[in-house]
A and B are shown apart, each in its own frame.
Chain A
């Protein structure tokens, strides 16, 4: 209740600021944002023949360009969501595996940890051009940075989760004769799973951030393209963007990010119900 109220207050406050500044090209009033939203969504299923109201007050260069290219909000969001999901699907198992190995075998940790620290330090977005030179201009240089970012992020909670398991669990299981797969599957993994799943939220957030960044730098589709027109790496963002479109994009991203975080939390809570 109070949340809804303060959300309404937020919108009213923004509208007031927009009116005070009265520069729609810098701070677009909510009406402009709504129009940009309608224009970006409607293009998807509105037959182009409907010529009755061509009088939208707010028609910017960026909206027109996007509409000409057939870009819609929902399609862009779907593309980005797909990339995020791919990054999570490949990156999470990879990161969790490395985290398990490093957390469980001290010897492997001694050797792998320094290498991991080096890899972790490299911002994934800095790798885009190098990947492109190896694999050509393709989907790979958008997906690999996301996978990389997710994997590197998923290692940490897994590692600490495995490390922090009370030593007596492992000792007790060992003294009862459990080892190898049994020990890993029945003791270590379940005991570490709250930490692993708790870290899922960070991976989701990082995946979105990297996906949008990669698309802003070089992609012809997705939310990053909607925001800056793609290929910033070469064009260096010389064009002045329309803030209404950007606000629509940011709101959509915030909503999608929230939805995925919610799903991750629900999923984690279900899987670790036994822990409470």
Chain B
């Protein structure tokens, strides 16, 4: 009952947004200038607010020409690999630093350093180190992801109430059993939340990272190219595609989370 009200309101809100955009585009078609001053030169024939029709036409073209599906496949693969690599490394390190205090003080300066470094700043360095190709893009995402998941796992382990561990130890549970049966499940929500944040940031990173050695099937370069011409329908479809992919990754993560924490037996 409550749910259906929520869904109805969501549909109303999104439909209102779509209609409002359609009206704005229709008004804009008549009133907005189609000539835009770009600092150094004018750009002709610009439609700042393309109508839904123009967007649909452009979308059909981008899909038919295999530009969009190809770009999605390439960029998603990069993000996925970076996310996988980064979260495996980050979570393992975070569990380790959270569990073993001695390692923590050893790793602390590294973590602090990476934590405050905007990951994008590493891009030129990675180009020098790992070349223009695939490796520097994936590793940049992985670094970004690893830092966030490391902190998440670390804080997750540290947040486990001491009583749980003491109780288990007094019942005779060894360190490995305690780690597997108490620390891991208790730290899971924090780890998971960090992976979710990292997934969002991975998509921010790829938009910039794909401008090095920019080649065509890739969403980052598609955005840059459509901005250079400029071809606004393509640009908007590119932005919407990235947004949709972020959304899909987030939904997948939530689904995974719901499955993995079924044992908690939460209501609703």
Query: Which of A's residues lie within 8 Å of B, judged by CB?
Result: 2-3, 6-7, 10, 25-27, 107, 110-115, 117-118, 121-130, 132-134, 136-137, 205, 208-213, 216-217, 223-224, 227-228, 232-234, 236-237, 240-241, 243, 246-247, 249-250, 253-255, 257-258, 261
Contact = CB atoms under 8 A, between A and B. Distances in A.
B100 interface: no
A249 B125 CA distance: 11
Given A213-B118, A216-B208, A126 B242 contact: yes
Contacts, number: 178
B175 interface: no
B117 A254 contact: yes
A114 B13 contact: yes
Interface stretch (B52-60, B159-167, B222-230, B260-268): B222-230
Given A3-B105, A130-B235, A121 B125 contact: no
A130 B239 contact: yes
Given A6-B108, A7-B109, A243-B128, A223 B121 contact: yes
B210 to A, nearest CB: 10
Chain B interface extent, by class? 35 or more
A233 to B, nearest CB: 6
Residue among B109, B112, B118, B224 having the largest count of chain A Cβ atoms under 10 Å: B118
A130 B5 CA distance: 35
A57 B121 CA distance: 26
Interface of B: 5-6, 9-10, 12-14, 17, 36-40, 43, 46, 48, 105-106, 108-110, 112-113, 116-125, 127-129, 200-201, 203-204, 207-208, 211-214, 223-224, 226-228, 230, 232, 235-236, 238-240, 242-244, 246-247, 250
Interface of A is mostly: helix
A210 B120 CA distance: 9
Nearest to A110: B9
B9 A111 contact: yes
